[in-house]
Amino acid sequence: MKWASWAAPWSAVKKSPNPSERERVLQPAKLARLLRGIKSRGGKVVFTNGVFDILHVGHARYLAAARKCGSLLVVGMNTDSSVRRIKGPKRPIVPFSERAELLASLKSVDFVVPFSDDTPLKLIMKIQPAVLVKGADWAKGEIVGGNEVEENGGKVVRIRLARGRSTTNIVKKVVQRYSH
């Protein structure tokens, strides 16, 4: 469905039915309130999550495929502190505010929501998506929140990733080409 379909619940949060990128980056509590209204009108919420550091074509293809699984796509994004705990002190390369704004500018992404835990489980429980999407590199039993979504009547979808496309590969290529 298009933004116009969500104008009533969205207008309760923002006046414009076509919010800017920054307006589509919401805190969990505010997003959960908004999604209740959307769900009550038949909206099917899809959720995925990740770091999305150095956005690349693999991310864009993955998010476009995830968006096709429902009415709107919510992307949970790791805060800078959680990225450092998970990936080490040199990451993220791009700070949260910029990663979030860039991700929200993609036509496939409806909302971006931060989470600071190492996993998005609390966020998934708060949002209660109809569909939880992860990359096919995750075994179904390893997908955080998968059991909880299915127990709530939702489903888990695994999407094939674009081969060879990753932030890690981009960083390696830059280091190889430009280090002396």
The pTM of the full predicted model, rounded to 2 decimals, is: 0.85
Alpha carbons 4 and 19: distance in angstroms, whole number: 11
Side-chain half-sphere CA neighbours of 39 within 13 A: 15
Helix (H, G, I), strand (E, B) or coil at 75: strand
| Residue-range domains of the chain with CATH | 3-178 (3.40.50.620)
pLDDT in tens, 85-115: 999 999 999 999 999 999 999 999 999 999 9
Dist. CA 77–CA 96, nearest whole Å: 8
CA distance 67 to 48: 10
